[in-house]
Amino acid sequence: MKYKRILLKLSGEALMGDKQFGIDNDRLTQYATEIKQAVEKGVEVGVVIGGGNIFRGMQAEEGGMDRVQGDYMGMLATVINSMALQSALEKMEVNTRLLSAIKMEQICEPFIRRRAVRHLEKGRVVIFGAGTGNPYFTTDTAASLRAIEIEADVILKGTRVDGIYTADPEKDPTATKYETITFNEVYEKGLNVMDMTAFTLCKENNLPIIVFDMNKEGNLQHLVDGDKIGTLVEL
C-alpha cells in the first residue's frame, strides 16, 4: 500500500452519471464500493465532493444573482451530495463522519481539524462538506486545504478523463497524456488541472496531485497500491 492517508476529490457532475441533473444511484454505489475497498486495505480516506450536479454559484452569478449568495447555495449543494455518499457508504457498513464548514448540527458535525484527524485514525471515512465555508473559493480549493490540514499523502482528483493531456482529449483527438508533470510545467503550459488557488496551495505545501478516471472500476484500488494510473503532478 503506497498511501496511508488520501484526500479523494470528486466532482458533483460525476455523480449525475448519465442523468442531466441530480444524483445517479448506480454511480453513487460504484463510488461507495471503491471507497469501501480502499478502507478495507487500511487506507485512511477523506472525501470532498463538488455540488455542480445540483447548483453552481458561478452560473447563478451569470444569471444576475449575487455571487456570494450563489456560492453559499453551491456550498449547501455539496452537503446534499456528501449526505448521499455518507448514506451509500453506511449502507455498506462503512463508518463515516460528515464534517461541514458551515454549522448544521442536526445533520453533521462542524469541521474541527483535530476531530477530523481522530476520525481518520479510527478508520472512519471523513466527508468534508460545504467547501471552505467561504464564498469565492471552489471545492478544489476546499480539497487542497483539507488535504493539507489532515496531512494527507496525496490528493486523488477523480474525473471523467484518465489524466492530464496536452489539450482537451474530448475535443482534440491528437491530445497526448502526461504520465508525470511538475507544478511549474502545468503553470507554463497553462493546463487546467485545478483552479489556481487550489493548485498553488498544493505546490506551496508540496502535496502531490493525481488526476485519474474515477469511473473506471478498480482505478482507486490500483492507485492506493502504488500502480501508475492517471497523471501525477509533483514538484
Sketch out the chain's domains with CATH numbers.
5-234 (3.40.1160.10)
Between CA 112 and CA 38 the distance in angstroms is: 24
pLDDT at position 66, please? 92
Identify whether the C-beta of residue 182 lies closer than 8 Å to the C-beta of residue 234. Answer: yes
Contact 120, 150 (CB under 8 A): yes
Positive or negative, the Cα torsion across 19, 23, 29, 34?
positive
Asked if the model's pLDDT at residue 57 lies above 90, the reply is no
Model confidence band, residue 229 (pLDDT cutoffs 50, 70, 90): very high
- Residue 58 reports pLDDT greater than 80: no
What are the beta bridge partners of residue 129? Answer: 100
In the predicted model, what is the mean pLDDT of residues 13-28? 92
Output the nine-digit C-alpha cell for 160.
471523467
Lowest mean pLDDT among 7-11, 14-18, 46-50, 168-172: 168-172
Question: pLDDT averaged over the chain?
Answer: 95
Say what the pLDDT of residue 59 is.
76
C-alpha dihedral (211, 20, 134, 82), degrees to nearest 10: -70
Q: How many CA atoms lie within 13 A of 37 on its CB side?
A: 15
Angle between helices 113-121 and 139-149 (to 10 degrees): 70
pLDDT at residue 30, as a whole number: 96
C-alpha cell at position 54: 445540483
The strand order across the sheet containing 180-182 reads: 109-110, 96-100, 125-129, 44-49, 5-10, 154-159, 209-213, 231-234, 180-182
Query: With contact defined as beta carbons under 8 Å apart, do 150 and 5 qualify?
Result: yes
Averaged pLDDT for residues 150-155: 98
Query: Which of 62-66, 67-71, 190-194, 201-205 is the least confident region?
Result: 62-66
pLDDT at 160: 86
Residue with cell 502545468: 186
Give the Å distances, CA to CA, from 50 to 64, 88, 158, 218.
22, 17, 11, 22
pLDDT at 1 over 80: no
CB-based burial label for 111 (10 Å; 0-12, 13-18, 19+): buried
Mean pLDDT within 123-143: 97
At 72 the pLDDT is 95
Q: Residue 4: which residues within 8 A CB-CB, separation 6 or more? A: 42, 43, 44, 153
* Residue range 92-112: mean pLDDT, rounded: 97
> How far is 58 from 177, CA to CA, in rounded Å?
29
